[in-house]
Structure 1
């Protein structure tokens, strides 16, 4: 499915009233930097619910991330043509699809829907259709109102960092999912979040990961 047409216009942030105006300027111009935070998310209840469901774990993880991302303006930020901060009304997940024969991956995207069932029905065919893709972006370039999710189901990790050259102006979060780890009677998902410090502080990223934990601990939405 294609992006909503035309692409919505981001809403400029009122710099006169924005509490993070000075923080944004500092971390974009004076000390431009991104940071990464890796957390272990308890997915015991989530994984148990999925074992009783025909739906795909990867797409459920992506939907959960998109749901908490869309709750908060700091994770929907972008820049206007003049370089000022703005916020997309909604952002949509772009995610990797692995091609085992070529040992490469494609990047596809699906429109976010607050109803998981509708999102899954749209996104699941993309996994099947593009599992043998030879193009990096088989749907064409992702729309500007997307954020990135990738999966490393072959390895668990306790730290993961992307080195974004010069940090750039990439304000959207980047998420990396790892392999589940069993410990005692619990199951954990490693999750790395990469974020430009101009867009969000540690408080905001911690809130996002805590909300994700709450969402996955009560997977009645599955």
Structure 2
């Protein structure tokens, strides 16, 4: 983690522009082609949800723009981000929040995530996790949404990306996944989200 000199930061003018609005968060929803990725998941007998969390986190960590955070009016650059995700048991209606670092592979991460989720008793465990390191994930496997919103505290410094998945579906032989990403406009623009989505699609296509 390192602090960024705001006066020489190339985004300072855009930051100041969006700092004026009440809620600088923006959200984009789209369908991602997971046809090949789903074959990989089924072949390796791992959780699709955990695997998609891994893929999204891995790609986001590869992009410096997504690792900028706002802390007490200063800009910092995180070394790595980790996923914090909602999870629910097959016989439950209440979710828990599970947080863990990325592992070396999708299979290893998926196994670790499953183990931690099963063994975690608390729904909202008290941890000393640095919020600046997190990406929030959630899933609605019952709904193929076209739009979604997230609960949020009205804090302009909220720099945590929020990613949601919906129920995937077949469209003319392709399997598509409703995918939502929400970020802070003070730090990121549509061009950054667009590049992220391109890299994510490439990653899951080529796995």
TM-score in terms of structure 2 length = 0.90
Please, which runs of 5 or more residues in structure 2 have no aligned partner? none
**How far off its partner does 1:209 sit?**
1.0
Q: Compare the two structures and name the one with the higher helix fraction.
A: 2
Contact 1:41 1:189 in 2 (8 A): yes
1:129-208 to 2 correspondences below 5 Å: 129-130=119-120, 133=121, 135-138=122-125, 140=127, 142-144=129-131, 145-208=133-196
Stretch deviating more after TM superposition (92-101 or 185-194): 92-101
Please, which runs of 5 or more residues in structure 1 have no aligned partner? 1-9
Moved >6 Å (runs of 4+): none
Q: Matches of 2:153 and 2:126 in 1, distance apart?
A: 26
Residue 90 of structure 1, aligned match among 69, 72, 80: 80
Contact 2:46 2:111 in 1 (8 A): no
TM-score in terms of structure 1 length = 0.85
RMSD: 1.9
1:66 paired with 2:57, answer yes
* Secondary structure, aligned partner of 1:193: strand
Q: Matches of 1:120 and 1:33 in 2, distance apart?
A: 33
Provide the residue aligned with 1:6 in structure 2.
none
Q: Matches of 1:88 and 1:183 in 2, distance apart?
A: 38
Q: Matches of 1:160 and 1:17 in 2, distance apart?
A: 36
**How far off its partner does 1:28 sit?**
2.4
**How far off its partner does 1:102 sit?**
4.8
Q: State the aligned residue count.
A: 206
